[in-house]
């Protein structure tokens, strides 16, 4: 009798072992997706619901084995909401990806020299980002202190998940700019003509828009600094273009230079009221630490670089050489 009982127990254990091996084999089977597929796990989704969804898409043959496995290993049922990239690797690998919250990541880039309107337009095109921007009240939504966000979003690439918001991404860019501007201001030249970090941000945005070659940022900063010191008008086309706004047709005309706007630095003295674009860290550093120089003019050569001049006579010759010929 004892032999019979032992034999039955051994047979039962063997069957259990075979059954468990089959369950494990099911987990190691590849998920039947086509290449890589995005799949959204909603908040509150249960393990059985996940299996049913995958079975309905014919990615799994049956949910039954996975229900048993979930009883044996409860950690499988810890599903984190988000958007995931599923692939043809083992079913268990795809499930663990969801257990770990390893969501697919997207990116959004703010380009050096972009104006605010372009940044907003581009972020509103991000398909997997929750769009919550209040365009008429954007400054208040992103910052509690700024009336105008122009210049305040640091150029960089920002990564996000599908659960993130557009305002959240821009807040990160705003906080990053605050940090970079504050750090740069601490290194400013002792005799700097600028009186506040915000003035540095304004000048940096102009330097950014005028720069074709990165190596010229310091000299461009020196020209504008020298002009501010001597009360000369900045006379920089990018500020004029910014003042024209959406009406600018790509060709700056003489009447544009003579028409007053708060940003027409051919008409006003000093800096315009706000930045005109998002400046890079290099432009900010150039603004707060201009090199010693006697240059007060520069003209584009047509290859991205500039000819710098100390006198109007030199400048006129450079204009004749590079602009009029």
Quote the crossing angle between the two packed helices 166-185 and 281-288, to the nearest 10°: 30
Of 219, 227, 183, 223, nearest to 201 by C-alpha is 183
Q: Tell me the domains of the chain and their CATH numbers.
A: 29-104 (3.30.1490.480), 106-181 (no CATH), 190-324 (no CATH)
Identify the residue whose tokens are 């909401």: 81
Q: What is the pLDDT of residue 16?
A: 42
pLDDT confidence of residue 243? 95
Rounded Cα–Cα distance for residues 213 and 143 (Å): 32
pLDDT at 325: 66
CB–CB of 154/188 below 8 Å?
no
- Say what the pLDDT of residue 23 is: 54
- Residue 29's nearest CA partner among 79, 95, 82 is 95
Helix, strand or coil, per DSSP, at residue 58: coil
* pLDDT tens track, the chain, 325 positions: 554 443 333 334 334 444 455 555 555 688 888 888 899 999 999 989 999 999 899 898 878 877 887 788 888 889 999 999 999 888 888 999 999 999 999 999 999 999 999 999 999 999 899 999 998 899 999 987 888 999 999 999 999 999 899 999 999 999 999 999 999 999 999 999 999 999 999 999 999 999 989 999 999 999 999 999 999 999 999 999 999 998 888 888 999 899 999 999 999 999 999 999 999 999 999 999 999 999 999 999 888 899 999 999 999 999 999 887 6
Residue appearing with tokens 């603004």: 287
- Write phi, then psi, for 31 (nearest 5 degrees): -70, 130
């Amino acid at each position: 009798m004892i032999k019979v009982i032992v034999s039955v127990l051994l047979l039962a254990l063997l069957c259990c072992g075979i059954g468990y091996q089959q369950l494990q084999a099911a987990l190691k089977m590849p998920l039947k997706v086509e290449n890589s597929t995005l799949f959204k796990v909603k908040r509150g989704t249960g393990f059985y619901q996940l299996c049913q969804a995958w079975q309905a898409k014919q990615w799994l043959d049956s949910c039954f084995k996975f229900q048993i496995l979930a009883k044996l290993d409860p950690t499988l049922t810890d599903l984190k909401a988000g958007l995931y990239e599923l692939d043809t690797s083992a079913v268990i690998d795809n499930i663990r990806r969801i257990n770990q919250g390893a969501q697919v990541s997207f990116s959004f880039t703010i380009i050096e020299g972009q104006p605010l309107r372009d940044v907003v337009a581009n972020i509103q095109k991000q398909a997997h980002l929750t769009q919550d921007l209040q365009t008429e009240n954007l400054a208040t939504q992103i910052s509690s202190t700024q009336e105008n966000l122009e210049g305040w979003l640091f150029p960089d690439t920002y990564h996000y998940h599908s659960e993130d918001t557009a305002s959240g991404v821009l807040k990160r860019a705003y906080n990053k700019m605050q940090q970079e501007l504050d750090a740069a201001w601490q290194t400013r030249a002792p005799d700097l003509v600028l009186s506040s970090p915000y003035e540095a941000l304004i000048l940096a945005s102009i330097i950014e828009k005028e720069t074709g070659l990165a190596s010229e940022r310091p000299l461009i900063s020196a020209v504008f600094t020298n002009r501010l010191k001597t009360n000369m008008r900045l006379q920089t086309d990018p500020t004029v273009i910014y003042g024209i706004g959406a009406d600018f047709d790509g060709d700056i005309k003489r009447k544009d230079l003579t028409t007053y706007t708060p940003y027409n630095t051919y008409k006003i003295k000093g800096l315009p009221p706000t930045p005109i674009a998002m400046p890079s860290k290099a432009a900010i550093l150039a603004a707060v630490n201009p090199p010693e120089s006697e240059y007060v003019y520069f003209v584009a050569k047509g290859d991205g670089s500039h000819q710098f001049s100390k006198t109007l006579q030199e400048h006129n010759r450079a204009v004749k050489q590079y602009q009029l010929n």
